[in-house]
Structure 1
Amino acid sequence: MTASVYVNKTIYCRPMMRALAAAGLTAALLLVPQPALAADSSYRTLATASNPNWMAGLDSGRSLGALSIPGTHETLSIHGGDYTQTQENYGNSAATLTAQLDAGIRAIDVRARVNEGNTFTIHHGAVYQQANFDDVLNRLASFLGAHPGETVLLRFKQECTGETGSCADATGQKSFTDIFDAYVAARPGLFWAPSVTRNSAAAVPTLGTVRGKVVLAVLNGPRGGRFDSYGLAQFAGWNDGSSTYVQDAYSVPTFAAIGAKRDAVNNFLNTTNSGDATKIYVNFTSGSGALAPPYWVAGGALWEQGVNPYLLGRLNATSYARTGVVMMDFPGGGLINKIVSYN
């Protein structure tokens, strides 16, 4: 009896011991700065893709929900070090956004702080990303003016919580939504109007309806939740993390948990292909944690394959009807091209 109990305890403890060992190894690795992983077709090679007009040849009657759309998570997060940077740096003042749009990115994730003068500055947590919301809108207007057959989906979020590690909004300013409305009003025709009309909760449009325009998918508060039914009605439940049409399992505590993130991405690909064909499904490949910076999750660490190369392998090996919107950190040109090719 005693021996049996001892064996059972040993078996029970093995997963915990492996987890502790992985955490210890990860912590040891983080004591020594690690170079970024080698770039490949899935990772850190954005500029090898050139798809400035990929939507132009598509049927205007197709729903946005039927498309396969490459996107970026924390689109303008290029400063702040390994735990903050999520994208290759192609320049401040949203020049990085222009590089992404030229590569074929059509879904973006922008986070803003309320600044003096009732303006928005772009942040990732406490780190100012050397861009303002006017820069973002200038880049979008310039790109869509030159490529009127395209559209861009925008997830826009109030970034500051005032907590440690985050930013704090400037005091004495208008509400986030009032400031947003002022930006929209100053640029008539840039946004698809039903998506930026307060309390309108728009239906998913066809591509032809929104060519040459920005479509607001959702306007999120700093702790999740949607402001005043801006954006698309289907995203009423888009909070901080996953929901019916969104996979955003962003917590990856250590490199040993990258596999769980790969599984989440793969499972949501299956959900997307078996789900409502009239809805937009948003699959975040990104993640991070105290012992797993974003570039480890995207590119891999030690024996754990990164999400980006894993995803490219899955898309090459499996025939999907659509990928939905795929929001990535450090996307490679080959991965962007592959998602576009599904259209």
Structure 2
Amino acid sequence: MGVPVKILCILMLLLHKSSDPEVFNDGKTLNLPANYKIGWMKTLDDEKLISTLTIPGTHESLALHGGLLAKCQAWSLWNQLMAGIRYFDLRVSGKNLKIKHGPIDQKTTFPDALETIREFLSKYKTETVLVRVKPVNPEFSKVPSLVENKIRNAKDIWVKPSVPTIGKVRGKIVFVQKNTFKLGIILFETDEKGDYKVTNVKVKEEKIKKHLEEAADKCRTGSALSLSYSSGTSLGTVLGFRFLPKKLAKQINPWLYDHLEKEFKKNPKPCFGIIAMDFPGFDLIQMVIKFNGLT
């Protein structure tokens, strides 16, 4: 009797695990469901302002290298696009426009990222991809003009400050701007200075909740495109290495999924603008997308 009971317990545990939503991902491989629609923006109303969407994004989108201190994502840019991510945070440095996280080279460049996004949009013409360029050291002051030279006269990139409808930017890249980069839509960033520093997970959760409420207020009117972060780190605080990006995401992502699931049940459903995440799992991304009334 003992052995069959043990086997039954193991099977029940496996079944339970397989039914849990994938909210955190730290593996390179992307496994998409057979019936998954990559072009999730296809059925959006062409007249809908993109500032009234809820958009899954990543923080430090190409921070794939540097170990526990610097790594914020596991999937490549292409895999993030395929999984439904439509906002990318690119930290760009120097005359070669290298992508960096702090001092750590991420082994790719802004032109490479642009080429990948363009390739994706050539296959999925119903989509639009939002890109934030954040100039960083060294030579951060040169980055804006160098980026401008790379995209000069490009017909597939929106660089105006006005918020477009989705119909105007299908198949295009939409630049968003803040502070040191002045091309594209002006962002309303809900995070305040230092909010990325985490010493208490519960406090971080409350901050995210507050930021999403602020974003929802902006989103209702469509007056501005909001950006909120669920990411963070304890580096630079008294806790030092306690909550590095990966460890924090393991705790925050399940909470974020549950919080969004509760918000989704409201009538009318809120919208939240861009939610930028670290190590998001496929189901967390899909939960964000659901707010657009597509699933």
Please report the TM-score for the alignment, with normalisation by the length of structure 1: 0.69
Give the distance between the partners of 1:169 and 1:51, measured in 2 at CA: 41
Aligned position for 1:169: 139
Q: 1:63–1:206: 8 Å Cα contact kept in structure 2? A: yes
Aligned length: 256
Q: 2:26–2:73: 8 Å Cα contact kept in structure 1? A: no
Over the aligned positions, Cα root-mean-square deviation in angstroms equals 2.3
What is the one-letter code of the residue matched to 2:87? A
Please report the TM-score for the alignment, with normalisation by the length of structure 2: 0.80
State which of 69, 87, 97 in structure 1 corresponds to 2:55: 69
Greater C-alpha Rg: 1
Structure 1 residues 62-100: Cα deviation after superposition (integer angstroms, max 9, x where no partner): 011111110000000010010100001x4xxxxx11100
Q: 2:191–2:228: 8 Å Cα contact kept in structure 1? A: no
State which of 130, 148, 153 in structure 1 corresponds to 2:130: 153
Aligned position for 1:216: 175
Aligned position for 1:280: 225
Aligned position for 1:266: 209
Q: Secondary structure at the match of 2:258?
A: helix
Q: 1:59 to 1:45 in 2, by over 3 A?
A: farther
Aligned position for 2:163: 204
Following superposition of structure 1 onto structure 2, how do residues 63-102 of structure 1 map, counting pairs within 5 Å? 63-88=49-74, 90=75, 96-102=76-82
What is the one-letter code of the residue matched to 1:230? L
Give the distance between the partners of 1:128 and 1:206, measured in 2 at CA: 36
Structure 1 residues 152-208: Cα deviation after superposition (integer angstroms, max 9, x where no partner): 111111121xxxxxxx339xxx822221111102x72231142xxxxxxx1111101
Aligned position for 1:35: none
- Given the alignment of the two structures, is residue 130 of structure 1 paired with residue 112 of structure 2, yes or no? no
Q: 1:285 to 1:248 in 2, by over 3 A?
A: farther
Aligned position for 1:332: 281
Q: 1:336 to 1:326 in 2, by over 3 A?
A: same
Q: 2:130–2:173: 8 Å Cα contact kept in structure 1? A: yes
- Structure 2 alignment gaps of length 5 or more: 1-19
What is the one-letter code of the residue matched to 2:158? W
Aligned position for 2:91: 111
State which of 195, 205, 208 in structure 2 corresponds to 1:249: 195
Q: 1:74–1:124: 8 Å Cα contact kept in structure 2? A: yes
Task: Report the CA distance between 1:267 and its aligned residue.
Answer: 1.3
Give the distance between the partners of 1:283 and 1:316, measured in 2 at CA: 17
Give the distance between the partners of 2:155 and 2:286, measured in 1 at CA: 29
Q: 1:248–1:283: 8 Å Cα contact kept in structure 2? A: no
Following superposition of structure 1 onto structure 2, how do residues 291-330 of structure 1 map, counting pairs within 5 Å? 291=240, 292-299=243-250, 306-318=251-263, 319=266, 320-330=269-279
Give the distance between the partners of 1:40 and 1:338, measured in 2 at CA: 10
- Structure 1 alignment gaps of length 5 or more: 1-38, 91-95, 161-167, 195-201, 300-305
Structure 1 residues 311-335: Cα deviation after superposition (integer angstroms, max 9, x where no partner): 1001112233213211000001110
Task: Report the CA distance between 1:40 and its aligned residue.
Answer: 5.8
Q: Secondary structure at the match of 2:234?
A: coil
Q: 1:273–1:323: 8 Å Cα contact kept in structure 2? A: yes
Give the distance between the partners of 1:283 and 1:51, measured in 2 at CA: 26
Q: Secondary structure at the match of 2:40?
A: coil
Q: 1:98 to 1:248 in 2, by over 3 A?
A: farther
Q: 1:154–1:216: 8 Å Cα contact kept in structure 2? A: yes
What is the one-letter code of the residue matched to 1:297? L
What is the one-letter code of the residue matched to 1:178? S
What is the one-letter code of the residue matched to 1:277? T
- Given the alignment of the two structures, is residue 341 of structure 1 paired with residue 286 of structure 2, yes or no? no
Aligned position for 2:184: 231
Aligned position for 2:24: 43
Identity of aligned residues (%): 29
